[in-house]
């Protein structure tokens, strides 16, 4: 491979690997830091959280939640998850009343034990990527792209090795009789 082509190839594969690692960190690595990641699928909290945003939620004690906070919680028996704004806190009975910013009505009371946490930050539109790679066919495309990327990273080295191995193949030279050897044909390290 020509040196300039090899440099371009190395830059391309390095950028691709860095992007893939960053995507993995933002989508999965955040759990190591105590965040749960959720994809916004409705416009009930627009303009704070838009459809396709990825929100990073950190666990909090229900006692630390105040009116005006946004919380993420289990909404119903089907285990649907929502993020809405707290409009009332009832500490005696252990529940919150929440409402989406664009909704006309309040939600059913949310028990303290259904609280997942408070959103700490979001990344706009990364939810579309998350949704794509977590469901077929995007999952299969992502796995295939990862495999292709690994091959592309190591391809130049494999081709160079094969080329070097191929240089020694072919017809071997006939040995030179001792009587015909000169300094020019003597093996390395031997001087006549």
Q: pLDDT tens-digit profile of 73-93?
A: 998 888 899 999 999 999 999
**Average pLDDT of the chain, as a whole number:** 84
CA dist., res. 159 & res. 4, Å (int): 16
| pLDDT for the residue 4 | 86
Q: Which residues contact 191 (CB under 8 A, 6 or more apart)?
A: 183
| pLDDT for the residue 192 | 44
Tell me which residue has tokens 């028996």: 77
Average pLDDT over residues 36-42: 94
CA dist., res. 159 & res. 136, Å (int): 33
- Banded pLDDT at 15 (limits 50, 70, 90): confident
For 2-10, the CB contacts below 8 A with 24+ separation are 6/156, 9/156, 10/156
Average pLDDT over residues 110-132: 93
Name the more confident of 29 and 88: 88
Does 119 score more than 90 pLDDT?
yes
| Digit-coded pLDDT (tens) for 128-176 | 988 888 889 998 998 898 888 888 878 777 777 766 766 655 555 555 5
| pLDDT for the residue 85 | 98
Q: Contact, 55 vs 45, CB < 8 A?
A: no
Average pLDDT over residues 2-25: 83
CA distances from 164 to 1, 42, 133, 161, 168 (A): 12, 58, 39, 5, 7
- Banded pLDDT at 51 (limits 50, 70, 90): very high
Name the more confident of 62 and 5: 62
Does 121 score more than 50 pLDDT?
yes
| pLDDT for the residue 182 | 55
| pLDDT for the residue 34 | 87
């Amino acid at each position: 491979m020509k040196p300039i082509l090899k440099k371009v190839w190395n830059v391309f594969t390095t950028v691709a690997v860095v992007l893939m690692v960053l995507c993995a960190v933002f989508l999965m690595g955040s759990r190591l830091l105590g965040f749960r990641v959720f994809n916004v699928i409705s416009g009930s909290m627009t303009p704070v959280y838009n459809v396709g945003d990825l929100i990073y939620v950190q666990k909090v004690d229900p006692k630390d939640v105040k009116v005006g906070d946004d919380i993420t919680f289990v909404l119903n028996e089907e285990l649907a998850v929502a993020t809405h704004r707290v409009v009332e806190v009832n500490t005696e009975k252990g529940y919150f009343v929440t409402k989406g910013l664009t909704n006309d009505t309040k939600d059913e009371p949310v028990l303290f034990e259904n609280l997942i946490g408070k959103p700490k930050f979001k990344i706009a539109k990364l939810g579309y990527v998350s949704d794509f790679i977590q469901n077929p066919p995007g999952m299969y495309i992502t796995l295939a792209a990862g495999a292709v990327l690994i091959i592309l990273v190591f391809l130049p080295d494999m081709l160079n090795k094969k080329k070097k191995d191929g240089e020694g193949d072919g017809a071997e030279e006939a040995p030179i009789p001792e009587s015909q050897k000169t300094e020019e044909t003597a093996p390395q390290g031997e001087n006549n």
